[in-house]
Structure 1
Amino acid sequence: MTYGAGCDISLPEFSSSRLLEKFIQEKFPKLSAPPEGALSLIFINCPGSRVFTDPRSGSRKCLDQVKLTLDFAADLTKTTHEKAEDIVVLSPSAAHCEAIGHMRKKRPEYTASLINVPESSTIDGYQGRENDIVIVAMGTSEFAGPLFTSNGNRLKVMFTRQRCGLVIVGELKAVGLSKKGGLDAVVKTHDAEGNMIYTRAGALRRVYKALKDEGRIVDVTIERKRQKRLATYSGNTKMWM
């Protein structure tokens, strides 16, 4: 495929992509670089993520991934001096967006560094809009499954909101990628009441498989503190190569 001159990532309008990639390579030095002259997204895999279900509404949220996402965004702005307004955090779930907003307001480490970051939005709510760097907090897990992200139309929106860089935070096992079977294999998950359900997430599986083959997936440790699971991306890491 041949791209026009306006797609040259050395142009000033793609400065955010270069800052993001430099930041990522410094944090995860074993991560494979994207092809020369091209941009490539990164997937931050959070094995063992816990998704909590509201007993009244049935809505779900993953505080492990919320914290890791905000840590990543805050560190990115501090380290690269990237304009906070050029970063946006999205999520497929409205409940997850609410959790992101709540944690941003309640924790001082995010209040200052992310004050100019736009309010988080759902994938559907961000249609027709873009930003330089998009960080997507999937809110998925092996137990909960792919949830809304098995919807192909929602994925198309999710993967086209960034001008310069896309970072996805989630769990690979949500789509059963590590298990045997084709890319369209059935995934066993659980609904809000804990009942087993069956779904397919072929489109998302293909994306994850491609990223794994390209070495653009990094595992992060979810550490327990005060009997709670808290995510950190600055601790032990394991690379998918």
Structure 2
Amino acid sequence: MAGTRQDTARTGQDRAGTRQDRAARSVFVTGGNRGIGLAVARRFAAEGDRVTVTCRGDGPPPGENLLAVRCDVTDGRQVDQAFKEAEAAHGPVTVLVANAGVTGDRLLVRMSEEDFTSVIDANLTGAFRVVRRAMRGMLGQGHGRIVLMSSTAALHGAAGQTNYAAAKAGLVGFARSLTHELGARDITCNVVAPGLTETDMSRALTEEQRRNLLGRTPAGRPAHPDEVADAVVFLAGAGHVRGAVIPVDGGAGLGH
């Protein structure tokens, strides 16, 4: 596993070193203080972009070349203020990665309405808030890249995650509907759907849950956050990929 992570990191560095020079982009990553969000933010920073990350609590580790701003995506005023800070420091946002999210696993028979709506608000409505705010600048510039972080739970479901899976599935319909609205504009909206990934969330799984998930994964191992970042960075540069869902799951969903 360690060798795989190091190889992935070197690959990202090689890409940054060999890419053609281009203007630095203003990149905004929600939930960018750890896990997948931090891996995504680091990759863009390594490519020479100006990166803002949002966090509700602790920021990214010291020494990161990232602008950290406090923001709870369930609060529209905090979203607006976070964008103002990013725009003041880096200019209008041209790449948005809506990554912030929460879980609240519970069987439906024991799930309260608050258990359901709070997860929908953070994962789905939160994405709506940041996308709507980012589009002000993107429409003004006539350019933008939006990447929504979903999950393979949206595609095949998961016991105890009716709230989470519903929210993450909603992102797919959101992205595809927005793709129709954007038409021929140079603003794209796509979805990345990670499977089991080495994050704090996956480390909280029981051994039995982990074995079951790996048993359905042809790759036989979880993804590293850097491998999810590969897909995000690709979409941030892909102008003719629109309304797509890219699974990063080691083949667990076999494209579904």
Q: TM-score, normalised by structure 1?
A: 0.42
- Larger RCO: 1 or 2 (CA < 8 Å, sep 6+): 1
Q: Point out the structure with the larger strand share.
A: 1
Q: Which has the higher helix share?
A: 2
TM-score by length of 2: 0.40
